[in-house]
Amino acid sequence: MGGRRFLITGGSQGIGAAVVALARKAGHQVVFTGRDARLIEQVAQGTGAHGLRLDVSSGDDNQKAVEACQARMGGIDVLVNNAAFGYAAGIGEMDIDRMKTMFDTNVFGLVDISNRVVPLMKQQGEGDIVNIASTSGMKGAARGTAYAASKWAVRGISQCWQAELRPLGIRVISVCPSEVQTNWGGRTGRNNPNKLYAEDIAATIMAALDMPHRVLWPEVAVFANNPWKED
């Protein structure tokens, strides 16, 4: 994969930040978005990528992100839809407004920014879209109604886009990580050296992108080999 132009949402921490770092290490141009100015600055300084304080749930912010990519890089070759957050509650106690707010980022924001990027990829006749789903979108779990539903939606959306965009030279890849050691939802104390690291998911994404463009990995589930092992 030669030097390409990346737009990564949710790139200020976790999986997104790991993708920013690997893409920059491989020599690609990167613009990334996030909501925490301090974290954005840390990633930008550490990688040389260009960070923007923008919220993917805002259409205006998504347009700003696309325009910034056009101004700084001349376009977008790879869109990594990583921005997401979780909300857990059992049926009978669901806060529907909180679920809708989560869908604004995890689903509608993903669709909105892709809707703005795809016309550019169609014009250039190629591109890659990586949608970060989850193994939560492959199996149900107690209290997982809202989050699992959003990730099932991402998987279904990805399949629809594959049907639409493969004939146009645009690959759509759905990546489904299992539990990753990140500060997910502001929770600390989740570390277990036998579970996945953000860098593992980033490496998977870069491997999929590095495949010859005639090759498509439509969906990749990534699990830790032995997360139950006692250290």
Enclosing H/E stretch for 77: none
In degrees and rounded to multiples of 5, residue 204 shows phi and psi of -65, -45
CA separation for the pair 33, 119 (Å, rounded) = 20
CA separation for the pair 131, 143 (Å, rounded) = 23
Enclosing H/E stretch for 159: helix 145-165
Helix/strand/coil for 89: strand
130 forms beta bridges with 80, 173
Is position 147 annotated as part of the catalytic site? yes
Q: Among 135, 128, 178, which residue's Cα sits nearest to residue 154?
A: 135
Enclosing H/E stretch for 108: none
User: According to DSSP H, which parts of the chain are helical?
Assistant: 14-25, 37-47, 59-73, 96-103, 110-124, 145-165, 198-210
Catalytic residue among 147, 148, 158, 198: 147
Catalytic residues: 147
